[in-house]
Chains A and B, each alone.
Chain A
C-alpha cells in the first residue's frame, strides 16, 4: 500500500448491500426487555422471600413469650372457593406446540424457541431456561443448502446445540448419542422447501456431562420417523 488513499479504496470493496431486518431486531429487543422484567421480578420475589425467612424467627420468638390468645367460640371461617391461591395452584403444562412453519416474521414457538427466515436463510433463536439467549452464529441464520446432510453442532459453556435439515416430512426426529442416550429434536417446516424439515436441539452441559467432556464430541445419529413411528431415514456420523 503506497498511500492511504489506495487503502481507503480497498477497504470500501464492493458489497452486496446486505440489510438487517428491523423486524427481527425489534422482536429480539422486546424479548430481551421481557426477560429482563421477568428476571427483575424474580429478584424482587427472592428478596421478599429472604426477608420473610429472616423475620420469621423473630416472629416465632415473639409468639413464644406472648400470652396465649383467649379461645374464641367462633369457629374459623371455612376456606372460600372465591379466594383461591393462584401461586399455589399447579398450572397445567400447555400442550406441546405444533411443528412450526417458518416465515419472515419471528414466531415464538414456546419453550424458548423462535424461528424466522431472512432472505434464504433460516434463523433460529433459543432462550435457555436461565434467560441466556443463544442467537449468535452458528446458532442463527444459515442457508438451508449449508445445512443439508449431516447435522452441525456447536459446543459452548451452555452445552451443545445441534441443528440441520432432513430430506423428509418427519413427525418425529430422534438424536442418538454415542453412549446410547436419545433426545427428541424440535422440528420446523421450511417454507418453500417441501419435503425437507429443519431440526434443532439444545442439550445443557449438565444433561450430558460425559458427552460434552470430550474434547471433540462426536455427532449423534439422526433418525427421522413418520407419524406411524416408521423410520423414514437415518443419518449416521462418519467414523472419526
Chain B
C-alpha cells in the first residue's frame, strides 16, 4: 500500500498543475477546478491498482471532464457573501498573468459548454478530433462542426483581439 501511495503521490505532484489548468479552462473557476480535479483523483486512487499500469492521466482527464459535465447539469447552489473579501495587492507580474488568464477565460465564457469543451481538449490538451469525440462522447462530425463554430466566435472575440494586439509586433 505504501508503494502504491508513493506512486500515486508522485503522479498527483507531477500532473495536478496540468489537470487544474485544464479544469479551470473547462469550468472558468479556479476553486471549482481544484475541486473537480480532487474528485477525479479520489476516483483514480480507489482504482489505482487497475489504472496505474495503463494510462492514469487519460483516466483522470476523462474523470475531470465527466465531473465537470455532471456539475454543469446540476449546478444549483449559490453563495451569499455578506462582506466584500479583501483582495491581495498584486505585483505587476502577477497582475499581467491574471490579465492573460482573465482574458482567455472571458473569451471562453462566450462559448457554449460543448464548444468550450471541444476547444479546450483540441487546443489545450492537443487531442485530435477522434480522441476529442471519444472523451466527450460526441460524434466525430459534431466535434468538427462545434470546433469550427467555436473558432468563428473566438476570431471576433474582443477579449482575444486585445491579447493579440498586445502580442503583435
Contact = CB atoms under 8 A, between A and B. Distances in A.
B80 A216 contact: yes
Interface residues of B, number: 51
B136 to A, nearest CB: 17
Q: For the complex, would chain B's binding face be called helix, strand, loop or mixed by DSSP majority?
A: helix
Interface stretch (B8-16, B50-58, B127-135): B8-16
Contact of B160 (A1, A141, A150): A1
A81 B29 CA distance: 61
Contacts of A14: 97, 100-101
Q: How large is the interface on A (under 10, 10 to 19, 20 to 34, 35 or more residues)?
A: 35 or more
Contacts of B160: 1, 7, 10
Contacts of A140: 35
A20 interface: yes
Contact of A20 (B38, B82, B164): B38
B79 A25 contact: no
A1 B162 CA distance: 10
Interface string A116-149: 0000000000000000000111101100011111
Nearest to A151: B82
Interface of B: 5, 8-9, 12-13, 16-17, 19-21, 25, 29, 31-32, 34-35, 37-38, 41-42, 45-46, 76-83, 85-86, 88, 97, 100-101, 103-104, 119-120, 123-124, 126, 151, 154-155, 157, 160, 163-164, 167
